[in-house]
C-alpha cells in the first residue's frame, strides 16, 4: 500500500460545462452556497495544521471547474509557497485557461491536466452539453496557452464513451507524436450519469492499447505524476499515453489519495463516503486543530479498507454526489 500523501482539493462544485458522462441532462443539482465553501484562509489553515502534519505533501486543485473560483490564483500562490508542498497540480476544462495560464504559472503552478474528449468541435459540444457556438476552440486556445507558458507535463484527459468518441482514439493518441504532451484515456465509469453508462457501456483499456499498438506499436513509458495511470509510449513519440482502468483493472490497492470537497467534506474514496468528515463545520465551531488532525489521521489509517471494491460488493451505501460535486 502506498503512503497516503496526495490530496485532491475541490475549490468549487459548479462547472461551466455539463458533460454527459458527469451530469444527466436536466438534472436538478443542488450546489453549495458560496458562504459554505472553504475560504482561502480555511484551506491554508487545514493544509498547514492538519494535512501536512499527517503526511500530505502533494495537492491537486479540482472543481467542478476550479478556474470559476474567483480567488483561484491566490489559492495557488498560498499552496505553492508552503515549504512542505512537494507537488501542486490542477485539473481544468481549459475554457478560461487562455486568460489565466500566465497568472497561474507566476503564482507557482507547474502541472496541469485538461479535459479534451474530442478533437471534433461538434462532437465536443455534444459531450459537454449546452447550445450555441462550440466551445472547442476556446478550450484549444487554453491548451495552447498552457503549452506556451511552459506547463509540463501537459496532460490531456479523455473519457472514452463507446459510439461517441471512441473512433477518435488514434487521432488523440497522435497528439503525442510531435508534442511532449501526455494523453490519458479513462474508462467510462458509472458515476454522474448512470443511465448513459447503462446505455453505452465502456471499453477496456486493453482494447484501446491494442488499437494503438496495431497502428504504431507501443512500449512502456514514464511520466512524473501521482495518479493511477499505466503509462505507455508510441516508439519515437515525444509524449506518452496513459490508461486509467478502474473498471477493468481495479487499482484500489495503489490509491494514495483522499478528497476534500469545496464545502469541506473530507472523503477517503471517490466512490465511497464511509467515514467522511465535515472539516468546515468543525473549523467554524472552534474544534481544536489538534482534535481535527487526530480525526484526519484516523481516517488516513482506515483508508486502505475504504474503497471502490467495498461499494461493488454491496458492503457500503451509495455515494450521493455527481462527479462535478465530488471533484473527480
Write out residues in the chain with pLDDT < 70, as ranges: 1, 24-28, 131-132, 190-200, 222-227, 250-251, 306-328
d(Cα 140, Cα 200) in Å, to the nearest integer? Answer: 27
**88 part of a folded domain:** yes
Which strands, in side-by-side order, build the sheet including 181-187?
A: 219-220, 230-233, 240-244, 181-187, 154-160, 111-115, 87-92, 58-62, 6-10, 257-260, 265-267, 277-278
pLDDT at 19: 79
Q: Is 46 part of any domain?
A: yes
pLDDT of residue 229: 81
Model confidence pLDDT, tens digit, residues 22-44 = 776 666 678 889 999 999 999 99
State the pLDDT at residue 318.
46
Residue 45 located in a structural domain = yes
- Tell me, yes or no, whether 156 lies in a domain: yes
C-alpha–C-alpha distance, residues 37 and 14, integer Å? 11
pTM for the complete prediction?
0.90
If one counts the domains in the chain, the total is 1
pLDDT at 22: 77
Q: What does the pLDDT read at residue 319?
A: 47
Q: What is the pLDDT of residue 322?
A: 57
Q: What is the 8-class DSSP label of residue 32?
A: P
Residue 1 placed within a domain: no
**CATH number of the domain to which 248 belongs:** 3.20.20.70
Q: Domain range spanning residue 317?
A: 6-326
Give the model's pLDDT for residue 82: 98
pLDDT score for 109: 98
* Cα 289–chain centre separation: 28
What does the pLDDT read at residue 308? 56
Domain annotation covers residue 79: yes
Tell me the H-state helices in the chain: 40-46, 72-80, 97-107, 121-128, 136-149, 169-173, 194-200, 205-216, 279-284, 289-302, 308-312, 323-326
Amino acid at each position: 500500500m502506498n503512503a497516503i500523501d496526495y490530496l485532491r482539493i475541490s475549490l468549487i462544485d459548479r462547472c461551466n460545462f455539463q458533460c454527459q458522462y458527469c451530469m444527466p441532462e436536466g438534472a436538478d443539482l443542488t450546489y453549495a452556497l458560496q458562504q459554505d465553501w472553504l475560504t482561502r484562509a480555511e484551506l491554508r489553515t487545514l493544509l498547514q495544521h492538519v494535512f501536512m502534519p499527517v503526511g500530505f505533501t502533494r495537492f491537486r486543485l479540482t472543481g467542478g471547474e476550479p478556474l470559476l473560483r474567483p480567488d483561484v490564483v491566490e489559492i495557488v500562490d498560498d499552496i505553492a509557497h508552503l515549504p512542505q508542498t512537494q507537488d501542486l497540480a490542477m485539473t481544468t476544462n481549459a475554457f478560461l485557461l487562455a486568460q489565466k495560464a500566465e497568472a497561474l504559472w507566476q503564482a507557482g503552478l507547474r502541472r496541469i491536466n485538461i479535459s479534451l474528449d474530442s478533437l471534433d468541435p461538434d462532437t465536443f459540444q455534444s459531450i459537454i452539453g449546452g447550445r450555441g457556438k462550440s466551445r472547442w476552440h476556446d478550450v484549444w486556445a487554453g491548451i495552447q496557452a498552457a503549452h506556451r507558458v511552459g506547463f509540463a507535463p501537459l496532460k490531456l484527459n479523455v473519457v472514452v464513451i463507446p459510439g461517441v468518441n471512441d473512433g477518435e482514439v488514434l487521432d488523440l493518441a497522435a497528439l503525442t507524436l510531435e508534442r511532449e504532451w501526455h494523453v490519458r484515456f479513462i474508462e467510462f465509469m458509472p458515476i454522474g450519469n448512470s443511465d448513459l453508462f447503462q446505455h453505452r457501456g465502456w471499453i477496456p483499456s486493453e482494447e484501446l492499447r491494442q488499437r494503438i499498438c496495431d497502428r504504431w506499436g507501443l512500449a512502456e513509458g514514464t511520466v512524473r505524476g501521482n495518479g493511477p495511470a499505466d503509462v505507455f509510449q508510441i516508439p519515437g513519440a515525444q509524449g506518452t499515453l496513459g490508461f486509467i482502468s478502474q473498471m477493468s483493472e481495479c487499482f484500489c490497492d495503489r490509491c494514495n489519495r483522499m478528497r476534500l470537497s469545496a464545502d469541506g467534506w473530507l472523503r477517503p474514496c471517490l466512490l465511497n463516503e464511509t467515514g467522511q468528515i465535515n472539516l468546515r463545520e468543525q473549523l467554524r465551531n472552534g474544534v481544536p486543530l489538534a482534535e481535527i488532525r487526530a480525526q484526519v489521521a484516523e481516517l488516513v489509517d482506515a483508508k486502505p479498507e475504504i474503497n471502490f471494491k467495498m461499494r461493488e460488493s454491496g458492503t457500503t451505501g451509495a455515494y450521493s454526489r455527481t462527479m462535478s460535486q465530488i471533484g473527480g
